[in-house]
């Protein structure tokens, strides 16, 4: 059960592998790349190799590995991702740096990465004039270089062993202006071996990340810490489309409200709220034009949509201790009649926690305003979920709670009186 330990003061704490959570954040953010979902991991790899040439301690190598994984956590849309990988340097790159900084700065376990992320697209000439510590400036510029190396490598039509000289020559034009000379020199040494470039292939990157994952980063987190971490991940998802802003946040609030009235204990309610925050992580894999389509989806688009909850499961199940949360979150489109997706669990495998999140997800979605329709009224929404319960798409017993607290559920789903400050 979630690696849970009970403190003497009664507050639950969890033993969570923070490295695995960092990898989960990178995996979610990298889904935006659609056909290339390894960018953050490759940047982490390149950064570590440069760091070794710079004589980094094991501690700093670990730091630049995690920073490489996290550096693009501010990227949520396909449009933004495409701009970053098609332009070597762009004036609009700073927006995702600002977002990444805002996401991490107040979460103490990861706050040390916030400032380097803020400056990871700042040219070296400008960076040395900023009020930034030497360590943060070094790490930010190292990530900047590693990031641009990977962009050129990933977009090259050649075998990387053949393309490497062109990549080095192109980036060398910006020594001193964009990149610190000593960092670039370390990169030149690192890339001199064919192994450097071969290791960037997908199967080798997976092996590298697996090795780095073995370093002990198990942290005892409070439920509050885990919730803050989940809010960071939910924020990344909800930025994917401005049409569904705060969806994950409001589903989590509504699910918790229902769980409390259902009579679940405090720990279950906390975990349901966290699962609600994380339930749509897989949507980052969906192309922007499908999520933002102002009308009905065709069969191919629906098939793509139906993969998102499986992606959610794949991300969360990699984190030791989040097994139940992964299942509750991933089952949010399942149903009692077995006609949901994508797992089709037996009824006895479809827990009450997952059923609560499923109802909260549907209810919040239909009352939320969208560009192609107004959100439903309280009466309209109740009619829809009542019909779905009669068809055993939703749990009738859980629906009774919504019926008994109609205005409260409607207000929560609409965000009325709910602080959206995260």
**Quick check: 112 and 62 in contact, CB under 8 A?**
no
Catalytic residue from among 112, 283, 403, 422: 283
Active site residue 189: no
The torsion angle over the Cα atoms of residues 412, 414, 416 and 422, rounded to 10 degrees, is 80
Q: Which residue numbers are catalytic?
A: 283
């Amino acid at each position: 059960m979630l690696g849970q330990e009970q403190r003497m003061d009664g507050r639950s704490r969890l033993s969570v592998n923070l490295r695995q959570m960092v990898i989960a954040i990178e995996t979610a953010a990298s889904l935006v790349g659609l056909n290339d979902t390894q960018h953050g991991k490759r940047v982490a790899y390149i950064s570590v190799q440069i760091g070794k040439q710079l004589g980094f301690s094991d501690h700093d190598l670990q730091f630049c590995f995690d920073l490489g994984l996290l550096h693009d956590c501010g990227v949520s849309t396909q449009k933004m991702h495409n701009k970053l990988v098609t332009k070597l340097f762009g004036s609009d790159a700073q927006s995702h740096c600002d977002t990444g900084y805002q996401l991490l700065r107040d979460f103490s376990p990861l706050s040390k990465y916030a400032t380097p992320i803020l400056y990871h697209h700042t040219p070296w000439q400008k960076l040395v004039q900023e009020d930034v510590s030497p360590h943060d400036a070094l790490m930010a510029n190292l990530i900047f270089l590693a990031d641009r190396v990977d962009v050129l490598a990933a977009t090259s039509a050649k075998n990387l062993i053949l393309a490497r000289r062109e990549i080095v020559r192109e980036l060398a034009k910006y020594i001193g202006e964009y990149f610190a000379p000593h960092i670039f020199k370390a990169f030149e040494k690192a890339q001199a071996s064919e192994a450097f470039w071969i290791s960037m292939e997908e199967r080798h990157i997976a092996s590298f990340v697996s090795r780095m994952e073995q370093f002990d980063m198990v942290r005892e987190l409070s439920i509050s810490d885990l919730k803050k971490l989940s809010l960071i991940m939910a924020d990344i998802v909800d930025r994917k489309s401005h049409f569904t802003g705060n969806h994950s946040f409001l589903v989590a609030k509504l699910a918790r409200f229902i769980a409390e009235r259902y009579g679940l204990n405090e720990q279950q309610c906390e975990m349901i709220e966290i699962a609600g925050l994380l339930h749509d992580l897989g949507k980052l894999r969906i192309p922007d034009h499908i999520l933002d389509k102002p009308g009905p989806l065709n069969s191919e688009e629906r098939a793509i949509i139906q993969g998102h909850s499986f992606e959610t499961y794949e991300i969360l199940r990699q984190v030791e201790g989040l097994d139940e949360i992964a299942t509750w979150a991933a089952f949010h489109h399942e149903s009692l009649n077995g006609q949901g997706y994508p797992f089709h669990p037996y009824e006895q495998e479809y827990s009450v926690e997952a059923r609560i999140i499923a109802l909260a997800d549907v209810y919040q979605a239909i009352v939320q305003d969208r560009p192609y329709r107004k959100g439903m009224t309280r009466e309209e929404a109740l009619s829809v979920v009542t019909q779905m319960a009669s068809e055993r798409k939703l749990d009738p017993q859980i629906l009774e709670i919504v019926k008994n607290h109609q205005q409260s559920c409607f207000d929560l789903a609409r965000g009325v009186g709910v602080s959206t400050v995260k």
